[in-house]
Structure 1
Amino acid sequence: MKARRAPGQRGSSARKSALLTFSAALLLLVLAVPVYLAVVSPTDGSTPSAATSGLASWNPNVSCAADLVTIRDVLGSAYPHQALNGSRYQVNSTSGGIPVERSLSPPCTITNATGQVLSSFVQINNVSLYGYGVKTTDCSAWYSKQNGGARYPGNQTVCTNAGQIITIGTTSGYMKIEIDRDWLGKGYCGPNVPSCDNATLAQEQSNGSISLDVQGFVFWEGPYHWELHPFTAWKLSSSPPPPPPSNSPPSVDFSWTPTSGNNSTVFSFTAQVSDDHDSASSIQVRWDWTGDGTWDTAWSTTKTASHRYSTAGNKTVVVEAIDSGGLTSTQSHLVQVTAQPPPPPPPPNAPPTVDFTWTPTSGNTSTVFSFTATAADDHDSSSSIQVRWDWNGDGTWDTAWSTTKTATHTFSAVGSYTVIVQAVDSGGLTAIQSHSISVTAPPPPPPPPPDFGLGASPSSLTILCGSSGSSTITLTSLNGLSGTASLSASISSSGLVLVWPTVSVSPSSVMLAANGTAISTLTISTSLLTTPGTYTVTVTATIGSVTHSMSLTVVVKLL
């Protein structure tokens, strides 16, 4: 049976507990000194707000430190309305916040339009959530392109969850939040991440009765509104931040190729890393090539490196990895390096070989011939061998030496031409090759295609209301065109027309003989009610696949 504590003892215990609580609070305050206050100047000229910087992320998948801001800070001078201009997070005339909203690794900072470097990762306290739910228009089984475009794990289909937040005690000035489908598919948010559980967040919607603190990356969804996208974490304002997750050192190892070599060998090293919190791509490594305790490279997220040893011996190569929490681990292996064998004597130099092809294989005096030389050498690369050309075999080189193996030429006269190419290597040895090319006279130009001309006489008319006018339409065969011509007429005006004149062609079909002519009559008729004004009459004639149109100006006047 437990002994009951005396009242005096209970009071003494309570005082000790209070003293311990005060001491713990004082200790937390001292530890919080590194979290500093930075004045962030808005771009709208309003009074700047003090933004607490360096706040820890509640989501273990986010390594950025947050600025404590308000919705008003983000919206800027447009508050409570939505606009890009006037916000401290405006980057340029069309964008603000992070550059890509779906990014799994957004930048921790941005440089705004005035040149200030700001944290893109923010915390906003004392807001209420409304309009939250599944965004059925943004569902997929695949990561977006900026995140690799692969299938989500388990071939699952995931939808973005979205809603709006508003500062407690206000009725306007909102921001949109989106728990992105790529973050859910990756497991950066969801039921396994309590600080970013999209399902339980749905239960915290209210009309201002539930106060939330939220974290996320600022993004301008132009031209509509500001967002926290990706939205990364939330908690009740009355609850403490979630405890930081425990961290273990990363694991690291490396392989290399070739497995052994001499002091002329360039060894390629590839580190393999993993971590319980950080992605492999974010872990940094550095290398010590000789195991002497001095690091020969700087920290880098690049996991590959190369090195050549100037001396022979067994070399202890050490790699060290570091995660975002500053925990490190190392791994070492022994690499065998032998002395480089003496180089073999250089082989004797032989002249290069050269030949060429050309297209087309024959042509006329209007043809542009394209020549391509192929050269090889026992010492020099093909690309370093120079060539030059003689277009007519007269012993005079028509081009200068060049490593370009292609050339073009047009022959001005008919005949058979001996084209010669010469190649020279770096040792001054040369070789030549020649081919004969036949050049003929160009063929006569093709006759012009059959066509017809279309004319009107007169080409303009003036008609009084209630009368009519006519014009003779003449079709003239050109280059032997013959056939049945179909004619039609239409009328238009740039002014307001209440009663239109009527137009017609008669006959509407005429036979046009080769190199002959055919006529039809265009008639424009008006009534006393026809709207006076200037009209354009378009006559169109078609023979087979050939169509031509012409326009006449018709002026209708009152009596």
Structure 2
Amino acid sequence: MVTTAVSCFLLVLSVYGYLGYFPSSSASGILAASSSSWNPSVTCSPMVVTVEQVLGNQANSMGGATENGSMFNPGITSPVGSAKRWLTPGPTPSGWVSPGPPCTITNANGQVTSAFVEIHRIQRNYLYNEDYAIQYDPVNGGNAYPTGMNLSDTTFNGFTPGYATCTSTNTTGCMHTIHMEFDHDWKAAGYCGPNTACDPHAMAQATPAEPSPNCQKTTVPSACFIDVQGFVFFDTSHENDASHSFSGWEIHPLTAWRISTASPDFSLSASPSSLPVPPGQSAFSTITVNSLNSFAGSLSFTTTVLSQPNSSGPAPISAMNPSTVTVSASGTANSTLTVTTASSNTGNYVVTVTGWSGNLTRSTILSVHVVDFSVIANPASLTIPIGSSSQSTLTLASINGFSGNLGLAASVTPTSVTAGLSPSDPTASLNASNLALSAEGSGTVTLTISASLLTTPGTYAVTLSATSGGVTHTTVVSITVTLV
């Protein structure tokens, strides 16, 4: 954006005869989660995001968003000229560089993300005409515009309701405001302008500039808010400008807009959404509230637990902490779900977390798996003559997806009168002191029992224990020591 005394002025729409916003009773539009472009010249599918998601979470010293803090860094780029003016494939001018702005980019973290986005329910400030041109950018061939056109970019700042636009005296709005432009090359090619999805004149007529939250500046309440589509671009030449929210991030080219009829809403998500929990233990999940369409306010949580057919025992106990959270417009808030099982629980359960604010309720569902393991000795009884030894195989198996490391131990206890008088009890040893189990897997350990010549004949019990966390399971091998 270039601001001069000649080129930077409020958008003059001579057809309407005056400046500023234009209330209209004909404003209309249908809001839905879009999977396609509203502009027939754009074949990309948009990612639905918020202003805040484009800007990221790093602010510079002036309050605006940095380039590095955004998941869209570096934005669209082009081999020559300016990517922000690059026309998509279609009725392109002579010399246009194929193939046009990319639908996706690889960001600075090596992740592939959409370069084409859709933002719902924002407000705008006044529209400006600036940056006039009479010929296409080099990326579009560099030729003169048709029939001697002298066209401008039409620019504005879009912001999340409740924050107002970013200024030098309102830097709190900077991380909630992004610069947007109807591009002059797109106008010259007929991609934008009259009778298109990106007509700035229609925007000026239908929507108010910086309306108050209760829409006092328009007779059509829905006209307070617009939805937009466009490509994400970082303009290094304007990242210190107040008119640019002290950030280089832009939606440029802006490819389409419409009146938003969406109501403020929120969604719930759980991480993790599947909870493995041993009997008698607790597991935790973070429940995140995401503001949609500028929802702001407090909401409360309730939880329910439903037993599945393979379950037994009392239903696990579920609780949220905190039980009430407050979320800002386009922000998030977290609460922790705790699910505690009884020692007798087995099988699977479903936990539904519901958040409600006024008449608005939304839910998310989690699965709870009571995971456990079994311990079996085979044979479970041994007869051993004094001075000899014998073995039993200990099999440990995962139940319902248990995975983890088991600590193993063995101990010997006399169980008969004569055995209790023995000067030397049999010895029990395991060939491993721990065993790692994978989900639904199993493993074996060998138990060796030895009776010395000093062991008194009688009966003994070898207790084998396997422990993981706070859960311990045991099995007993009965030993009979004989003289021969």
TM range (shorter): 0.3 to 0.5
Larger Rg: 1
Higher relative contact order by CA 8 Å / sep ≥ 6: 1 or 2?
A: 2
Q: TM-score, normalised by structure 1?
A: 0.31
| TM-score, length basis structure 2 | 0.36
